[in-house]
Each structure stands twice: as structure tokens, then as C-alpha cells.
Structure 1
């Protein structure tokens, strides 16, 4: 019988937990399984193929069925990708010609003739009212019949599935990795952690759960199982209450608290009482979420439990009936009277806040003595600062070396983005360089000795995942700011969505920009063809799911940037639809095949973010003429309806410039620091691997690594961030 969390392990680790079953001779079925995987761009490692061959054919067949279902969903092949134009990318008509044809067909239709004539008299025709516009005109079977079989190419994606340990070992290891992560998880990973925490509550637990959102879902499982809770702030209790109501444990969106049972209410109040009783100063944390605490108080009735007086104080502060001065207000008071030294002394009690305030403190300093005091305080508390904060500040200070007066791009935790002028004064170079040296030294001290360090060169320009919230879930997805090579002659984007309850129209578009970020041209439903490529046609509703594609010939692209985007024209947003995802494929010019071919998919990511315009990534042409993908994971607010590439291209270009011209801290930075402690460092040539154990960092795990090797790939890249 399959483990209920087998698919979850496979998605996160690309390892197949060791199937249980009687011994047999399943080699024939195992090879058939491997061949079936090849059709969607996956394959079995030699070790996994050998292990499956030792089981019965029935066991292998059932394992294959489950695994194929999982990997097809990982790559987006679990849905039928139909297109409006049957022969796409061939025979896509000129836009005006196509619209004229739709009008002609509407005039020939008795049901739509009068309505169309009335619109023509006004001089404006609504395309959405034309019967042949926006809906599929042929069945999916017709599409399959119209396209030749895909020609296999050496450049097709090949993702290797490796042999895992027993299901319980794999599930437990994944739980420990996610729960103990030093960086926040994305939405899907946090949801998976919740499932894992419930399953693993009686098993081994991480030494610490440093990320507050992770702690909330771990506490939820512990509460249900009657275990002690992990609480050290009043906000930990608030996050747990949000988790109990299936709300937002990041506290970004308000949660509608449910009615809670008496045992749950007692547990929450006892937790608040213990936290405040141990440290009354933590009452100040209530101010940041006063409204949420007031709403929670209405649900848990603290006045009914006078034996927990410190918990009563929490809600008294939230209502404004009790004073609790915040740490930040004390810092602001000192800075308000230009007492930088006093503010710095106070901030040494909160090392993370001190480091996040370094830029402001140095800009506020009036004398060299004050600047020296800021740097000295940073040196004093650096060992107590989280590794993620050290690296974030390091990236920030590196980018502060530039001249002021540029545009500043802000991105919130959900990918919402906006731009403003950068009016900050420069940080003095001497202090900036001293802090950079300090940060590098402290990071180097915390990194493990890697032994033989084996590095895939293609991973060096991948940005460090300082927050999983900056990365969408999916296959082949990299953190914001990452650069990855693009090899192929044809680049094809795709979007798929399925509406939940009302007609929803997503529009896939791509804008081409020159080196000055000025628009060269675009492809969309308003411009179906150009020298660069073709659009597959507009689909305006998706009750059964819908797909749109853009096909580009990279050699024909005018300009230096290609920016795909998904615009919501009408209907449900990215967080309301039943399903929505974006991706891209790469093909050689001679490859045929259907519009969607799983083995050519290089990336598939979910679209789950605020706003009405999604910008998953961009493509940059380098000075060497080669194309690279730059990962953005951004969302623009857009307008409630009618978002179009023509109207948002200026905003898109401004945001893109901010992302492209910012230097992100990459894997290269950490491998350079690790090399100082390595016995040897080798750039992997893609062929042979060393005989002994190594620390391998790359985009894909090579076959044949020593079993005692430490392996870091994009699936567990967060493991590089020091604690």
C-alpha cells in the first residue's frame, strides 16, 4: 500500500520513497515505467530502476501509476492544453483579418446578426459578443490529430527521480527540513508543512523552529495532539489562533476567527499568560496587531478565566486600557532627539532590529564617533543575528554603493510590487566596507566545512532563497533575481487557468524591450503575429480550463528583453480561480509536436499572488548574444477589469529595470566563502563524479554520488542559509 504522503515527498525532493511489496521480477515493467516517464521529461535513476526491478510487476505497475500522476501534475501535463487556432504556431492569421472574419461570421449567424449590425452602426464592436470569438472551435482530439509527434532532441528536459529511503524516513526528513527552515516558506510549502506536522507530531522534532509562520502550523499539530506549545511571544499565540481558523499565519491578511472549544480557549489563554508572566515587556508586541487581538478576545472570552491575569493584560493593551510602551517607540524617541548612540545602545538588545536599522542609523549619524559606535555595536551583536538577516543586509549594503537618485523597487512578501524615487543619501564607503567585511566573516564562520566541494557552474547565478515567499511553487522555479541559461531556438510560454464559479478571462502577452527599456513590440490577443512569433488565440472563459500560448523565435527577437505577463481581463483573480499556472518550453527549430509537450517544459509555476497582472520572469539577451532567464515573481495591482499589455508596459519596464539592475546575492557568494574551508573545490563537468563523499551544489543531483555526500539542489536550496 502506498504511503499517503508519497506524492508530497516526490514533489519536494525528486526522490521516490522505497516501495513496499513482495520480491519478484519486475524488470520488464520497470523499463516500461521508465519509458513512460521519458515521455513527460522524467527518468528513473539507475539505483531506482534496479530497486524496482527486484519487486513484482504488479507492485511496479501500481507505483508507476501513482508516480506518473504526480509528475504529470508537476510539469502541467495533467490538463488538456487546447488552443484557439488549430494549427498553432502555423497559420495564425493577421489580427485585423481574424477580427474581420469573426464579424463576418456573426453577420451570417441569425442569432447574432442584429446585435452585430447595431454595434457596427456605432463604429465599435465588442469582440466578446461575437459567437466565434474567445471559445474553442474544435475538440482536443482534433488538436492531437492536427499535429505531428514531437521529435525527440538532446536538449529536452530530463529530470531524474532518485531512490529514497523508507516512506516514514523520507516523510520525517522532509518534515524536519521544512519545520526547521531558517527562511520563510512559500504558500504551498507551508501548506505541506501543516500536513507533515500532523503526521509527524509523535516523531523526531527539529532542534528549533525559527520561522514564526512555521511555528504556527507546528503548534497547531502539537495542540491537537496535546503536546506542549512552542511559544515565546504573544504573537506566536495569535498566529496559532489564525491557524486554528484556517487563516493567514503571516498576519498579512485579517483572519475571521471561528468559535473555539473551551479546551482550545484555555490552551491559548494559558500560553499568553505564560509568555507575559515570564517577560511583561512582551506586552508591547500587542500593538502591532491590536485589531487582530481584539477580534480574538471576542472569541476566547478571557474575562471568564481570571486565573490567567497576564492573558487579561494582553487584551487590555489591545483595547487601549493598559499601557505597554513598545521597543520601537523608545528607539524613535532617541532618534527624534538625534541621540544615535543611545538608540544604538538600546538596539543591541534586539540584534536583528539593529542590523535591519543599520542603513538608517548610518545616514542619521552626524559625527565619525557616532558612525564608529554603530559599526562597533554591529560587531558586538553579529553572532546573535539570524543568518538570513546577515545575508539580506549584505545584499542591501552591496547595492547601496550606487549613486542615489535612482528608482527604488519595493516587493512585499506576496510578490506585490511598486516603484518610488530613491531619495536616500549615500552610506559612507568606509563604514559600508567595514560592515560588508564583518558580514562576510560572520557568514564564513557559520558555514560548515564542506570537505570536497563540487559545484555545478549553472547554479552559481541562482539567487539565495532569503525568503521562500519570493518564489512560486512549481517545477524548475528559482528565487527572484536568479539568472539561468536559455538554450534553444524556439521559446514558448503558456498559461492555464480554470475558473471556480464565474467566467474568467486571462490574457497571455509578451512585450519586447530594447536596451533602454523602451517598447519595441508585443504579442497578445490584440497583436497575434509579428516577426518574433505568434499568439495561440484568445480564450475568454474557462469552465473546463483554458490555455494560451506565445511562440517566439529567439533569433528574430528585436530588442534585448522579452517580458511575458498574464493579464486578468475579467473574472476571478489568481487566488480565487480553481487552478492557474504559467510556464515556458524550449525547442529546437526542427521539433514538431503539439502546442504543449511536457518533455520540453523547463519551468512550470503556480500563479498565486495579489494584483491583476503577473510577471513571473523575463528573458535577457547578454552581450555575448546568449539568452538568460531572470526570475521576477512579481504582481502588479492593475485595474479591476480590462488589463492589457499596451496599458501596463511602462510600469512593467520600470519594474523590470529595478530587478535587472539590482545585484542579488547568489550561490556564488556562499560557495566562494565555503571554498576557504573546503579541502578542494571542483566545478562539475556534467560527466564523472568523485569516488568519495562530496558537498554537491547544483541544479540537478548527478547519478553516482557517494551515499554520504551532502546534496543541495533548488529543491532544498534553503539549506545553504546558515542558522
Structure 2
């Protein structure tokens, strides 16, 4: 049973749960396993090889099959990536010549000659009516035959898989880590947590579940197991009700509630009653989701349970039969009459909300006395504010240093982005600097003492994951705003999609901008070849899955900015298709190889978001000439059909300018805060490891660290955020 969930451990931790089985001579099979892994860019650690070598050959083979299947999917190698142009990136034709060839072939075809002539006489030809356009003209095997083997290079990615504990221990550890995460999980993280919660229902449970969505999934399992519920707000109960019917526990999307068993109704009502009895003021939270509460009341029948009168009050508030003033409405009332001091005093009772209101309160303050009161209140309650909110406030205040001329970028929890002028009044420097000092002091107090820090320099500019929703799921993916180096001569993007029901056409494109974000050029199905690189050709239907590629020679790129994007031309959205993902590879010019080579994949990101245009990341050339990736994870609304790179150039440039100007809090900031005169800090050169235990922070865990070391990689980067 545990083996079914082992892939979750490999994906999240890059550890293989220690296989259990009869002893034997598994050394040869283990070496073959390692060789197979290296062909897709992975490798077994020395400890894993040693462990497998002492097991039977059958056990090693079973482990290899499961692991290979998992890692191939992690990098996108579980599907066949064909290309329209069989020799890509060689022999990609000029766009106009290619279109003329498609027309000539349509004229030579008896079935399409007449319609093509009619279109030509009208002066406009629809490419989709040409039989040789948009569909593969060769098999996957035929395409492979046109490409040489990939030549190994020192820069090829090699991700080490380490030895984990026994499967059950690893699953329990992963469950506790996800359930107790201090930052909200993304969609895939919530799904994994739900699977693990069911499996670990009878085992250890987290001492604390700070994220409400996580708590809803845990409560679902506890309810089924007959355990007491972990609820301290009425909204906790509403989230649980949504989880029980397979709905949205984030409450962003409406959930279709249905009749629940009597035992479940009793548990939910009892939980509600206890929350309101302990704190009647929490009835005010009902207003945020009044309509959902009304629908839930129709399913729970609270009138049948007079022993829980406080639960009935919840639904009375939802129906407007009972008054319950919310904190927000009372704050708004005070600010409407310019009573900043009164609003601050009221918000002291809700430290998190006070911190989220700091900017507004400081702008609303008319006197120095009022501004001092705002700052003093924040200083007094900062110890009661979550680390994530403290860091968010710190980042916000840092970016308020620039007072004029900025554009303001908004990104919702789904990654939808838009930009507008920043019309806010400035936050004065003395208050801003005093607050930043207080926040840094609090963060420094909460961070653990560290004797020896071992740092991978490439990890210093990784943005702190203040929300898992700011990061798409996938392999090698970093939080929004992170910056990572890009080393290699050839940069190759890829997109894969497989439609569910309707004909679906995704278009991979790359917009090239100069230092002022003006368009230099682009590569897409309308411009197949340019000085910088080549497009693999347009695929317009994906019943069996389809891929498109863009190959770029970084040294030839004109301009300072490369923006890959995926445009939905027609058909199903990113959340409707059976599967869709984006990624990029890096390789040297002499390596050759197939269009898709898994061991050159640096990143593979799932495309699951709103809008019709996806912007996964942007590549920026620095003043030193080096290229770096900045992670976006953004979606534009676009148009229902016919989205093209030419049509969204202005929107993308405006958004990019605003996003690039925003400075994220990174690992570097926390490293500076946790370092004092007693801390040894070593920048790892990729070769020599210290003999003793360290706290290691990097993009990948090195093989050979002392077993007592604390290890922080992107998979558990949230552990750096103080509670």
C-alpha cells in the first residue's frame, strides 16, 4: 500500500524510500538502475547504491521501475515529444516559403484545390484549411532517426536521489511537513496532502496546522476517523463542509453542497456551536461567505438540533436575522471619520489585520502623533504576528521606498496579473525605516542560532515562498520573483499539451525586448526563423498530445529580455486539457541530440491557471552579460480565441516592467539576519564539503553531507520562514 504513495516522496524530497526485501546480490542491477537514471538526468547517491547492492535483484528492479517512471514524469519525459519540422532546429524554412509550400500542396490535392483557389481569389488563405499545415507529417520514430545522439557535457543536469527512511516513515514525515506548512500549498500540494492524510490517519498528527486549507483536509480525515475536529473559526467549519463534498477548500470557487449523513451534520453543528460559544464575536466572519452559509444551512438543518443554539446563530447572521458587526466594518467606520487612532486601537486585537493595514493607516494619518501611534502599535504586537505576514510586510515596505513613477502590479492567488498606475500617497521614510528595523529585529529573534552555514551561491537570490500559490508545481521550479543563473549556449523552450475533448491549439512563442522593454523581434508560428533561433513548427490539434519548441542561441540574442509565453489560439484552457506543461533546456552547441533531451531539462512547470496566455518566466541579460531567469508564474486574460504574441506585446511589456522593478525578499535576506559574529559562513564551491554538520542552503542537496546536517532546498524552503 505504501509503495503507491512513494512517488510523492521522490517528487517532494528527491529521496527514495529505503526498499525492504530479501538480501541478495543486487549490485549489478543497482548499477544498471543508476545508468538508466543518468540517461534522464538523475543519479543514485553512494548510500542508495550501497543499500540496493545488498538486496535481491528482484527488489532492485521493482524499485527501479517505480523510480524511473516517477523521475521521467518529473522532467516531462513520460510523453513523446515530436516536432512538425523533422530536422528541428536544422532546416527550419522561412515562414513565407513554408506557407507557399503548404498552399502549393493544397492546390495539388484534389480534395482541397477548389476551396484553396476560392480563398486565393479572395486574397486571404486560412492556414488551417491546408492539409499539410498543423499536423505531424512523420512518426515519432522517423523524427528520432533524423537526430544524432546527445553528446555528454559537463554542464548537463545531474540530480542526485538520496536514500530515505522506510516508506512509512517517509510518508509520515512528508505528511507532517505538508500539513504543518506555514505557507499555503498550491493545488498539487493540497491534492498530495489529501492523499497522505488518508494514509496517515492513524499515525502521528501535526502539533500545529497554521494554514486553514490544510486544516480542512485534515479535519475531513479526523471526522471520518471519529476524532475531534480542529476548528477555532466558523470558516474552518465551512471549509470542512466543502472538503466533504470534494469542493474548493480555499473558498475561491463556489462549491455545490449536498445532503450530508446525520452523523456528519451533528459533528459540523457541534463544532460551530463550540466556536461561537467560546467567542461570539467570530459570528462576524459569516459575512464573508453569506451565500455559502445559507446553502449549508439548508443541508445541515440546524433547527432539528436545539442543543446547539450558537450554531443556529451562524445561519441567522447569514440570513440577516441577527446582527454581527465585523471588525472590518468597524474599522471602515472609524477611518471614514478620520479616526486613525481609534482604528489602530481596534486593530490591536487582530495583529495580522493591523499589519495588513499598515500602509493604509500610515497614509490616512494626518499628524505625526497619529503616525507614531501606528508604528508603536505594530512594534507592540509584532511578536503575535505570523512570520509569513511579518515578511510580507517587510517586503512591501521595502518596495515603498520608491515614491513616484512606479506602476503597480497585482497578482491574485491564481496567478492572474494586471498593472495600473500607483496613485497612492507615499509612506514617509522615518516611519518606513522604523518599521523595517522593528520587523528585522523580530525576525532575527525568531530565527534559530546557526553555528556553520554552507551556502550554494545560486540559492541566495531565490525568493522566499510566502505562499505556495505563487509557485507552479513541477521540477526545478522556484517561487515567483526568484532569480537563477542561466549557463549554456543554447536555450530551448518546450510546451506539451493533450486535449480532453475539443480540438485545441496552443502556440509557443518568445518575445524579444530591449532594455526599455521595446520589441526587438519574436519567434512564433508567424516567424519561424530569425537571427536568434528557430521555432519547431505549429501543431493545431492534440488528441494524442503535441509539443512545440523554440531554440535560441543566447549569444545571438538582440536585446536584453526574452519572454517565453504560451498562447491559447483555440480550444480548451489550461485547466481543461488533460495535461499541459512548459519547460526549458540548456545545452552546448556541439551536443546535438533530440529536440527533447531529459537530462538537459532545467525546469518543467505545470500549466494550470486562469487566462489564455501563460508567462512562466523571463530571461534577463545583466550588465555583466550573463543571462538569468526571473520566475513569473503569471497568466493574462487574453481573448477567447486567436491569442498571438504580436497581439499582446504592449501588455506583456508593461507587466514585465512592473514585475521586474518589484524586489522580492530572498534567501539572502534571511541569511544576513541569522548570521552573527559566532556564525561560520562558507560559500560552497561545488567540490569540497565540510567534515562536520552544517546548515546547508542550496538548490540541490550535495552527496556526502554530514548525516547530522540540516538541509534546506527548494522542496522545503518554507522551513526557513520563522513561525
TM range (shorter): over 0.9
Paired residues of 1:405 and 1:423 also in contact (CA < 8 A)? no
Q: Hey, what does 1:193 align to over in structure 2?
A: 193
Q: Distance in 2 between matches of 1:638 and 1:486?
A: 29
- The 5 Å alignment of 1:243-282 reads 243-282=243-282
Q: Hey, what does 1:63 align to over in structure 2?
A: 63
Q: Hey, what does 1:302 align to over in structure 2?
A: 302
Q: Distance in 2 between matches of 1:504 and 1:476?
A: 27
Q: Distance in 2 between matches of 1:295 and 1:557?
A: 57
Residue deviations 1:80-117 (CA, integer Å, cap 9, x gap): 00010000000111111111111111111111111212
Q: Hey, what does 2:82 align to over in structure 1?
A: 82
Residue deviations 1:333-370 (CA, integer Å, cap 9, x gap): 11111111111111000000001111110111111111
Deviation at 1:3, TM superposition (A): 2.0
Residue deviations 1:229-278 (CA, integer Å, cap 9, x gap): 11001100111111112111111111111332221122111111111111
Q: Hey, what does 1:435 align to over in structure 2?
A: 435
Deviation at 1:677, TM superposition (A): 7.1
Residues 678, 289 of structure 1: alpha-carbon distance in 2 compared, 3 angstrom cutoff: farther
Q: Distance in 1 between matches of 2:153 and 2:116?
A: 48
Deviation at 1:678, TM superposition (A): 5.2
* 1:361 lines up with 2:361 in the alignment: yes
Q: Distance in 2 between matches of 1:312 and 1:110?
A: 74
Deviation at 1:625, TM superposition (A): 0.3
Q: CA RMSD in A?
A: 1.0
Q: Hey, what does 1:465 align to over in structure 2?
A: 465
- The 5 Å alignment of 1:513-592 reads 513-592=513-592
Q: Distance in 1 between matches of 2:497 and 2:224?
A: 36
Deviation at 1:431, TM superposition (A): 0.5
* 1:714 lines up with 2:714 in the alignment: yes
* 1:114 lines up with 2:81 in the alignment: no
What secondary structure does 1:63 align onto?
Answer: helix
Deviation at 1:692, TM superposition (A): 1.3
Residue deviations 1:496-531 (CA, integer Å, cap 9, x gap): 000111111100000000000001000000111100
Q: Distance in 1 between matches of 2:259 and 2:94?
A: 59
Q: Distance in 1 between matches of 2:110 and 2:217?
A: 59
What secondary structure does 2:206 align onto?
Answer: coil
Deviation at 1:225, TM superposition (A): 1.1
Q: Hey, what does 2:129 align to over in structure 1?
A: 129
Q: Distance in 1 between matches of 2:719 and 2:186?
A: 15
* 1:338 lines up with 2:321 in the alignment: no
Q: Distance in 2 between matches of 1:120 and 1:245?
A: 56
Q: Distance in 2 between matches of 1:341 and 1:448?
A: 36
Q: Distance in 1 between matches of 2:106 and 2:267?
A: 66
What secondary structure does 1:17 align onto?
Answer: strand
Q: Hey, what does 1:148 align to over in structure 2?
A: 148
* TM-score (normalizing by structure 2): 0.99
Paired residues of 1:453 and 1:678 also in contact (CA < 8 A)? no
Deviation at 1:299, TM superposition (A): 2.2
Deviation at 1:2, TM superposition (A): 6.1
Q: Distance in 2 between matches of 1:676 and 1:293?
A: 51
Paired residues of 1:215 and 1:230 also in contact (CA < 8 A)? yes
Deviation above 3 Å: which 4+ runs of structure 1? none
Q: Distance in 2 between matches of 1:678 and 1:635?
A: 45
Paired residues of 2:2 and 2:168 also in contact (CA < 8 A)? no
- The 5 Å alignment of 1:380-399 reads 380-399=380-399
Q: Hey, what does 1:45 align to over in structure 2?
A: 45
Paired residues of 1:94 and 1:529 also in contact (CA < 8 A)? yes
What secondary structure does 2:663 align onto?
Answer: coil
Deviation at 1:717, TM superposition (A): 0.5
What secondary structure does 1:590 align onto?
Answer: helix
Q: Distance in 2 between matches of 1:184 and 1:121?
A: 58
Q: Distance in 2 between matches of 1:180 and 1:226?
A: 21
Paired residues of 2:406 and 2:658 also in contact (CA < 8 A)? no
Q: Distance in 2 between matches of 1:647 and 1:712?
A: 42
What secondary structure does 2:670 align onto?
Answer: helix
Deviation at 1:298, TM superposition (A): 2.3
Residue deviations 1:527-577 (CA, integer Å, cap 9, x gap): 111001000001011111000000000001000000000000111101111
* TM-score (normalizing by structure 1): 0.99
Q: Hey, what does 1:594 align to over in structure 2?
A: 594
- The 5 Å alignment of 1:652-663 reads 652-663=652-663
Residue deviations 1:445-464 (CA, integer Å, cap 9, x gap): 11111221111111000000
Paired residues of 1:449 and 1:678 also in contact (CA < 8 A)? no
Q: Hey, what does 1:664 align to over in structure 2?
A: 664
Deviation at 1:306, TM superposition (A): 2.5
What secondary structure does 1:413 align onto?
Answer: coil
Q: Distance in 1 between matches of 2:304 and 2:641?
A: 49
What secondary structure does 1:178 align onto?
Answer: helix
Q: Distance in 2 between matches of 1:2 and 1:251?
A: 31
